[in-house]
């Protein structure tokens, strides 16, 4: 009773919303709601069962992890079109087993050439439209990511890996509840092309067959282009399929539709686009190497936080104890301040990587954490090579820290491994279906800053600094873990918690995914107008009441969420000694893992 009384008093003092719930079992239990899925040949984990099954079939039929992830993600975009699809963007992390090397694939979209800060100041009152219209979009990057995977590392053709997606789109698949619910949105109803595809007589109903024949035709056009160039060899055929989307009739149709519907995209924006294969950025953490995508995403912020946390004895603090959560949240706040201040498209801004990733810098940042008090200030640091930039954040009004993204990971018998995070950013992205092509564009353009000189300031052809990210962990030069999660600004926190649950607390991969979670919004939100909620913290109600009360006493402004509401992780852990693959999938969502 004393604990509950203190909690009530703290809640009144801080004006916070705290919900008391019944504990759903011992936090120390080794039981999980789902088993770890284990195999020795291959594994897949994704956000939808049909996508996982598709990827598994491709590997069962002799394809490798790269072939499988393209086919799986094509189905993922079909059955979960509110969160991803061929109009989306993506970041990928790749372990190339033959070369023994990690790679980043940056398939973030770019701003159209007509999009400038001056244009939005003159025509939109200095505001970016959030989650709506083609003025919030960027060039789709997913199909170029497919091309890179298949041409550089894959073994199969577009026709082979897209066959299941085309068949399901043409013949129908049982609509999941999430699709039926999202398709009823009023935002879709504003646009004739969206109403025609998702509402009225074609509205998805949970458990009943639903078709997207428009998308099937679009994918068939890629396969037709590939077949037409088959006599020139496999690589030329793959490029012909890719080029039909970015340089052929599909690109011309997208450009014409954009111009007719108030968008700034023109044919040349698609024709000049290319995804990028880059070196990863990484840090060492207690014998593991943690890899992230280097440019135009938030992934490196997890590295900044891990460097800070490496100075703590996290095991001694205890999993999800008051001290543990406090240290994690304060480290993330510092990391996200550096995210906002320094990270952007490195084709346009210089990122001081050596300073940001150094252990000495992390040691200096660690001294800013008061173990007894939360800090709500925005505190970017001064790493070696870092400079001053203008800030762009709000402390009032509504700021969206969430997002609609998806995830898929694969690993094969050669131990190639891929983390693939595709997204539309928010439900159905820009909301308007592109003509009769069967998909919508992402709305990632609402992430830009309209403050000149900001690291994420809008410029033509520039990629926004997105929330997309995943994690690839290696140990002794071999792949150990691929993991990722939808969740907007929360993504780094979700993958970091999964990683620490494994390496610090010895959890198996399913326990690591299912463990109770925390989050914070005490940093500028990625979407416009970049609102920050100082000292905000959210926890699942499975975090003990006493722990919550102590966090409130430290000055955290707490919201308690449902017991299974903060996560959507997928992961594959590779035991480098036994060779066993361990796949996990989050029970909070439709995620599904398969291994053999």
Query: Using an 8 Å Cβ cutoff, are 412 and 95 in contact?
Result: no
What is the reported pLDDT for 150?
Answer: 98
Q: How far apart are CA 285 and CA 507, in angstroms?
A: 17
Q: How far apart are CA 473 and CA 475, in angstroms?
A: 7
pLDDT in tens, 216-253: 999 999 999 999 999 999 999 999 999 999 999 999 99
pLDDT bracket for residue 20 (50, 70, 90): very low
Report the pLDDT averaged over residues 449-465: 97
What is the reported pLDDT for 555?
Answer: 98
Q: In terms of residues, how long is the chain? A: 596
Q: Mean pLDDT score of the chain, rounded to an integer?
A: 94
* pLDDT value at 70 more than 50: yes
What is the reported pLDDT for 7?
Answer: 34
What is the reported pLDDT for 26?
Answer: 37
What is the reported pLDDT for 401?
Answer: 73
* pLDDT value at 18 more than 80: no
What is the reported pLDDT for 400?
Answer: 72
Q: How far apart are CA 348 and CA 362, in angstroms?
A: 26
What is the reported pLDDT for 404?
Answer: 79
Report the pLDDT averaged over residues 407-424: 98
Between the alpha carbon of residue 210 and those of residues 48, 202, 207, 273, 433, the distances in Å are 16, 8, 9, 32, 17
What is the reported pLDDT for 29?
Answer: 57
* pLDDT value at 10 more than 90: no
What is the reported pLDDT for 15?
Answer: 39
* pLDDT value at 14 more than 80: no
Q: How far apart are CA 84 and CA 207, in angstroms?
A: 21
Tell me the pTM.
0.94
Between the alpha carbon of residue 539 and those of residues 326, 345, 495, 520, the distances in Å are 12, 32, 16, 9
H helices of 124-212, in order, are 142-152, 158-161, 163-171, 177-182, 186-189, 192-198
pLDDT in tens, 163-211: 999 999 999 999 999 999 999 988 999 999 999 999 998 999 999 999 9
Q: How far apart are the first and last CA of the chain?
A: 50
| Strand 581-585, strand 276-278: pairing | unpaired
Which one, of 299, 240, 283, lies nearest residue 92 by Cα? Answer: 299
What domains, with CATH codes, occur in the chain? 2-36+281-400+469-558 (1.10.246.130), 54-97+113-278+436-447 (no CATH)
CA angle at residue 160 from 217 to 92, to 5 degrees?
Answer: 90
Classify residue 17 by its DSSP letter.
Answer: B
pLDDT in tens, 492-545: 999 999 999 999 999 999 999 999 999 999 999 999 999 999 999 999 999 999
Strand partners, 583: 37, 572
pLDDT in tens, 530-565: 999 999 999 999 999 999 999 999 999 999 999 999
* pLDDT value at 126 more than 50: yes
């Amino acid at each position: 009773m004393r604990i509950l009384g203190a909690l009530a008093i703290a809640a009144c003092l801080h004006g916070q919303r705290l919900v008391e719930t019944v504990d759903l079992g011992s936090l120390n239990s080794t039981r999980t709601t789902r088993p770890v899925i284990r195999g020795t040949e291959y594994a897949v984990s994704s956000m939808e069962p049909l996508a996982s099954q598709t990827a598994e079939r491709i590997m069962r039929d002799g394809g490798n992890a790269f072939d499988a992830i393209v086919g799986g993600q094509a189905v993922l975009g079909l059955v979960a079109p509110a969160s991803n699809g061929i109009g989306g963007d993506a970041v990928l992390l790749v372990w190339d087993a033959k070369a023994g090397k990690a790679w980043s694939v940056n398939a973030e979209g770019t701003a159209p050439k007509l999009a400038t800060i001056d244009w939005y100041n003159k025509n939109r009152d200095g505001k970016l439209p959030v989650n709506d219209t083609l003025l919030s979009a960027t060039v789709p990057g997913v199909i170029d990511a497919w091309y890179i995977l298949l041409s550089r590392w894959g073994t199969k053709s577009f026709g082979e890996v897209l066959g299941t997606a085309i068949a399901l789109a043409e013949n129908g698949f049982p609509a999941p509840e999430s699709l039926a619910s999202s398709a009823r949105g009023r935002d879709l109803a504003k646009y004739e092309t969206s109403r025609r595809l998702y509402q009225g007589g074609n509205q998805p109903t949970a458990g009943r067959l639903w078709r997207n024949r428009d998308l099937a035709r679009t994918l068939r056009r890629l396969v037709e282009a590939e077949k037409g160039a088959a006599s020139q060899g496999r690589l030329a055929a793959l490029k012909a399929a890719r080029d039909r989307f970015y340089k052929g009739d599909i690109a011309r149709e997208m450009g014409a539709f954009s111009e007719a519907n108030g968008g700034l995209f023109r044919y040349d924006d698609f024709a000049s686009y290319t995804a990028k294969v880059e070196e990863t950025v990484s840090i060492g953490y207690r014998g593991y190497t943690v890899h992230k995508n280097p440019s135009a995403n938030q992934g490196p912020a997890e590295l900044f936080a891990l460097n800070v946390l490496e100075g703590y004895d996290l095991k001694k603090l205890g999993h999800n104890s008051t001290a543990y959560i406090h240290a994690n949240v304060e480290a993330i706040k510092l990391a996200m301040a550096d995210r906002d201040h320094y990270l952007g498209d490195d084709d346009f801004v210089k990122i001081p990587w050596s300073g940001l990733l150094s252990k000495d810098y992390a040691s200096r940042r660690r001294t800013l954490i008061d173990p007894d008090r939360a800090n709500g200030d925005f505190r970017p640091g001064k790493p070696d090579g870092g400079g001053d930039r203008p800030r762009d954040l709000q402390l009032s009004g509504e700021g969206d820290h969430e997002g609609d993204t998806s995830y898929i990971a694969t690993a094969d018998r050669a131990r190639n491994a891929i983390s693939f995070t595709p997204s539309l950013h928010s439900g159905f992205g820009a909301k308007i279906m592109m003509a009769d092509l069967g998909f919508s564009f992402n709305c990632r353009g609402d992430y830009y800053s309209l403050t000149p000189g900001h690291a994420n300031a809008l410029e033509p052809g520039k990629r926004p600094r997105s929330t997309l990210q995943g994690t690839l962990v290696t140990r002794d030069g071999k792949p150990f873990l691929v993991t990722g999660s939808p969740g907007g600004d929360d993504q780094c926190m979700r993958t970091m918690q999964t990683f620490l649950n494994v390496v610090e607390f010895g959890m198996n991969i399913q326990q690591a995914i299912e463990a109770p979670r925390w989050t914070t919004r005490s940093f500028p939100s990625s979407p416009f107008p970049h609102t920050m909620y100082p000292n905000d913290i959210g926890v699942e109600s499975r975090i003990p009441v006493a722990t919550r009360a102590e966090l409130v006493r430290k000055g955290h402004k707490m919201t308690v969420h449902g017991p299974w509401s903060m996560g959507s992780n997928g992961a594959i852990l590779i035991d480098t000694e036994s060779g066993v693959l361990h796949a996990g999938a989050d029970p909070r969502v439709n995620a599904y893992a398969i291994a053999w």
